Amino acid sequence: MSPRLTRRQLFGSSALAATGLLATSGLDVGPASAAAVSTPFFHDHQAGIATPAQDHLVLATFDVGDATRAEVATVLDQWSTAAAEMTAGQPIGSTLPTSMPPADTGEALDLGPANLTMTIGFGDSFFSEQLANRADRPRGLVELPSFPGDQLDPVRSGGAIVLQACANDPQVAFHAVHTAKRLALGVLVPRAIQLGFGRTSATVDGQSSARNLLGFKDGTNNLRAQDAADMARYVWAGHEAGPAWMEGGTYLVNRRIRMRLELWGATSLEQQQAAVGRFRASGAPLSGTHEDDPVDLAATGLHAVPLIPVGAHIRVASPTANAGEKLLRRGFGFADGIDPVTGELDAGLVFLCFQRDPTAQFVAIQRRLSASDTLHRYLVHTASGLYAIPRGLEHGQGWGSQVLA
């Protein structure tokens, strides 16, 4: 995926300005380009996966309700038409007489594309007798097991259809989901909407690692979208996935992870760093001094104690501990207020990751994390979803004709 931006424009985006990268980059680039940056909608792969992570997320799920196959296909085609318009910074539809409701709801009219991407996916319940598409169910769409400590909200979890809108302007991302919901009126049933802010992972070279709400740099050793070999090996599904539209697609796992910030805030810096396996200030692994130093799991200190503790997150999550497996993480922070029961913050990480084989990748890694990761005791998973993400659309093709032809 090559977004329509030069390196200069990329570094001039408000994303990077807002995260302070530019304060140290020495570049002096007009931010006039920030709102104008766009990523092409039609491509081999859907946008919003290998796209450099934007600043804001609006993630929506829908159920099919009583709709027929034809009705659902029509809405999906309308969605992709609208997505092509909105991601280009255009209002949807045409200008109608003023005696009619406007085609576009208007709240993003002056905001530019703001690098909006819209990514669609389908959960297990999409493949049904009702839609006569059980045979199209992608093979990787397994039922996720429950993991120790899960406290899943059923409404925030699952859903037949997921729509991930990411943009560098929150109102642009909201407009995308608002529009989809409006186009689906009377056909699809809205299930949940989750907002996220401040990308937590660098997904391309040159993006600085942002800090998550635990205060630690996150995503240092993430897959990089420029690495075509890694993307092919770990992210893009092949023909083994099932239906033809999954070749070049992937699978999205969504975990809403509440961070126990009050407990974390009462934990010593030493213990925090031991739980993560990195120094907080620099982001360097406890075996090194710079953020990008390799994670040396064998390094030991006094009395042969491992510098990166046995239960450190970066050890338990490492490819070494996981048969070489990796994920493309693309998460966002969230803050949904105060838990009325505990009085604690309902805040944390909308963990989104893409992979070609959810069982071998997310499930295997998460089993290990929930069993052995010291950090896990500070986290509560409160929602879960797995979705098959079709390949990208060709010009003129629609999501309905792609998956419900």
Q: Which residues inside 323-352 make contact with a second copy, applying CB under 8 A?
A: 333, 335-338, 340, 343, 345, 347
Q: How far is the CB of 191 from a second copy (least distance, A)?
A: 7
Smaller CB separation from a second copy, 264 or 362:
264
Q: Which residues contact 159 (CB under 8 A, 6 or more apart)?
A: 61, 62, 63, 123, 125, 191, 192, 385
Cα gap 243→259, rounded to integer Å:
37
Phi, psi of 34, rounded to the nearest 5 degrees: -60, -50
Minimum CB separation from a second copy for residue 265, in Å? 5
Nearer to a second copy (CB atom), residue 136 or residue 169: 169
Instruction: Work out whether 268 is an interface residue with a second copy (CB under 8 A).
Output: yes
In sequence order, the 6+-apart residues with CB closer than 8 A to the CB of 28 are: none
Name the minimum Å distance from CB 107 to a second copy: 5
Describe the chain by its helix, strand, coil percentages, rounded to 5: 30, 20, 50
- Token look-up 């090559």 returns 2
Q: Does 46 bind a second copy (CB under 8 A)?
A: no
Which one of the spans 135-143, 209-217, 291-299, 306-314 is the region binding a second copy (CB under 8 A)?
209-217
Scanning residues 51 to 110, which ones bind a second copy (CB under 8 A)?
56, 58, 96, 98-102, 104-110
Total Cβ atoms within 10 A of residue 122: 27
For a second copy, the closer of residues 267 and 359 by Cβ is: 267
Binding residues with a second copy: total (CB under 8 A): 85
CA distance to 118, 195, 277, per residue, from 170 (Å): 13, 9, 33
Q: x/- binding map, residues 285-324, to a second copy, per CB under 8 A?
A: ----------------------------------------
Binding window for a second copy (CB under 8 A); candidates: 131-139, 268-276, 292-300, 350-358:
268-276
Q: Mask: binding to a second copy, 118-157, rule CB under 8 A, as x and -?
A: -------------------------------------x--
Among positions 213, 237, 312, 393, the unique one binding a second copy when judged by CB under 8 A: 213
Both tokens of residue 209? 């690692």
Pick between residue 45 and residue 175 the one whose CB is nearest to a second copy. 175
Among 130, 171, 372, 397, binds a second copy (CB under 8 A): 171
Nearest to 127 by CA among 119, 114, 139, 116: 139
Nearest to a second copy of 171, 226 (CB atom): 171
* 376 near a second copy, judged by CB under 8 A: no
For residues 75, 78, 80 and 86, what is the CA-based torsion angle, rounded to 10 degrees?
-130
- Give yes or no for residue 29 binding a second copy (CB under 8 A): yes
DSSP 88-156: TTPPSS-PPPTTS--SS--TTTTS--TT-EEEEEE-GGGSSTTTT-GGG--TT-PPPPP-TT----TTT
172-201: contacts with a second copy (CB under 8 A): 174, 178, 181-182, 185, 189-195, 197-198
Q: Does 233 bind a second copy (CB under 8 A)?
A: no
Query: Phi-psi region for residue 140, left (φ > 0), alpha (ψ -120 to 50) or beta?
Result: alpha
CB of 178 vs a second copy, minimal distance in Å: 7
Q: Please give the Cα distance from 234 to 357 (Å, whole number).
A: 8
Length in residues, the chain: 405
Give the shortest CB-160-to-a second copy separation in angstroms. Answer: 15
Three-class SS state of 312: coil
